Structure 1
């Protein structure tokens, strides 16, 4: 504790020794956009960097009281992901391994041997989308037939967009439906994108179809090409791609025929058995009456 007090006292005396003409610094920082898990540069500069030496810098979120990063002399305190990029070239800062929690407004105080100044700067944090994944229904597309093309992308933030193009560059996005699903997993925000492009009659001459994922700034994040070829109805290659389907259908027909045959055989035997049972039942009364007559006949020994 005494060492901290001594450091603070020394810094206070150092700041008091600085000439109070902060307006000469004319400190400015550009709005900053960082990307999650990457390094973010916060660009700041004076009106004139000549013969200006940085004594200390203090950075804190506008909504908080304590600094998250401070440097004076050779002493650095706070979040070690924050650093003063190059004191000789100016007060620009750098953040390594950027997080969503870094987003917000900050008060940045810079103390130099020519004066000091505090300004407000802002940091926005985004996340790139993963490579889009495409699929189709049905898996085998037939020229002139119905088709649904799908494109999905995840992990991006803020919400982006998905556009569809054919080989000529025509934009088909107006015919698609886009779903956006926001998520927040342990502070990591993302918006999953899912786009469906439907054709009542798809045209082989327009393939391949391409889906392109754009971030919230309309900058391309990734793209994917539909890999399922479109076949003509009479195309022999279509049959080459579907041998298993043909075998399954043929096998099903054989099994179905066997089942029908067994059912007919079972029905035949049941009817035959029923016929014999009926004959046996009709003969039983006659035999019974004959037996009774034989017993009642006095001449029968």
Structure 2
């Protein structure tokens, strides 16, 4: 006579043979603030072509070893109260529907991670783990300078900021010749209460800069550029001759003109005097 354990093993083996498996898409990508779909379908066998689902449990795992936190559950005709934002992908789902895909209606950073789907039918059971990777696009970078008005040949700093992204990205700097200056900068990443990141990068210039334009670009965690902004340094002032020599030149010109007039007048007076003396001498000789 077979033992109870042997009978249980034989029954379980027959059940698992009837329901081949629960097949899920291994990796899923969800976008912050949008719907995310974890696709899972129960695959049946020819031995049990029309099984009835008794239990479906979707659990959010914090680690591969834990039991997980139930987010959506159906057990023997009764629904466990689902967590807000989780439901079956098919709104009209029932126990004869083999599509047990999970829909997250408003994806948050907290939804990132591993999920376990457990299915028990009248012909067998199976469970599988699938992963959701949440992404959020970073905002267009903004750049400002300290001081606000950069003075040539003085120290200055460019500050680039981008926010609202996930996972943690990077800010990178380039000059107008596409040479990268990121190693000369310092970046800080802070995470807000909703899990999104704000990136801040500071690029320091000592005694002015060599190039007229600098580009700050934001890259996501996968290394793809999402957006960029170009910052134009103030143009160097035009070189103009000092005003003091010009004033000196004007004064010299005036003195030369005045001097020339005085010399001319003196010459006229001497000539008139010489002419008068000559006429006087001529008259005296006649007498």
TM-score range, shorter chain: 0.5 to 0.7
- Counterpart of 1:225 (choices 200, 224, 230) is 230
Give 3-state SS (helix, strand or coil) of 1:231's partner.
coil
Instruction: Report what 1:70 is aligned to.
Output: 73
Q: Report which of the two structures shows the higher radius of gyration computed on alpha carbons.
A: 2
Give distance in 1, aligned partners of 2:100 and 2:39. Answer: 8
Q: Aligned with 1:179: secondary structure?
A: strand
* Structure 1 unmatched runs, 5+: 1-15, 237-301
Counterpart position of 2:209: 202
Q: Distance in 2 between matches of 1:40 and 1:106?
A: 13
What is the SS of the residue equivalent to 1:180? strand
Q: Is the 8 A contact 1:143 1:203 kept in 2?
A: no
Structure with the higher fraction of residues in strand conformation: 2
Distance 1:66 1:141 in 2: 55
The whole-number CA distance in structure 2 between the counterparts of 1:90 and 1:220 is 37
Secondary structure of the residue aligned to 1:27 is strand
What corresponds to 1:164 in structure 2? 173
- Once the 2 structures are TM-superposed, how far is the Cα of residue 176 of structure 1 from its aligned partner? 1.3
C-alpha distance after superposition, 1:218-266 (max 9, x if no partner): 233432222x443122189xxxxxxxxxxxxxxxxxxxxxxxxxxxxxx
Does the residue aligned with 1:155 lie in a helix, a strand or coil? Answer: strand
Q: Which residue in 1 is equivalent to 2:88?
A: 84
Local SS of the residue matching 2:183? helix
**Which residue in 1 is equivalent to 2:162?**
153
More helix by share: 1
Aligned counterparts of 1:235 and 1:220: Cα–Cα separation in 2: 40
Secondary structure of the corresponding residue to residue 25 of structure 1: strand
Q: CA deviation at 1:39?
A: 1.6
Is 1:28 aligned to residue 31 of structure 2?
A: no
Q: Is the contact made by 2:146 and 2:156 (CA closer than 8 Å) also made in structure 1?
A: yes
Alpha carbons of 1:191 and 1:155: their partners in 2 closer, same or farther (altered >3 Å)? same
Q: Which runs of 5+ in 2 are unaligned?
A: 1-11, 241-287
Partners of 1:140 and 1:229 within 8 A in 2: no
Cα pair distance change 1:140/1:150, threshold 3 Å: same
Instruction: Tell me how far apart the structure 2 counterparts of residues 53 and 219 of structure 1 sit (CA, whole Å).
Output: 46
* Alignment partners' CA distance in 1, 2:131 and 2:33: 18
Cα separation, partners in 2 of 1:48 and 1:143, compared to 1, 3 Å: farther
Q: Secondary structure at the match of 2:16?
A: coil
Q: Confirm or deny: 8 A CA contact 2:109 2:196 kept in the other structure.
A: no
CA contact (8 A) 2:22 2:40 kept: no
Q: Is the CA contact (8 Å cut-off) linking 2:19 and 2:45 kept in structure 1?
A: no
How many equivalent residue pairs? 214
Task: Quote how far apart the aligned CAs of 1:31 are.
Answer: 2.6
1:123 maps to 2:132: yes
Correspondence for 1:215: 220
User: Structure 1 residues 61 and 146 mapped into 2: Cα distance closer, same or farther (>3 Å)?
Assistant: closer
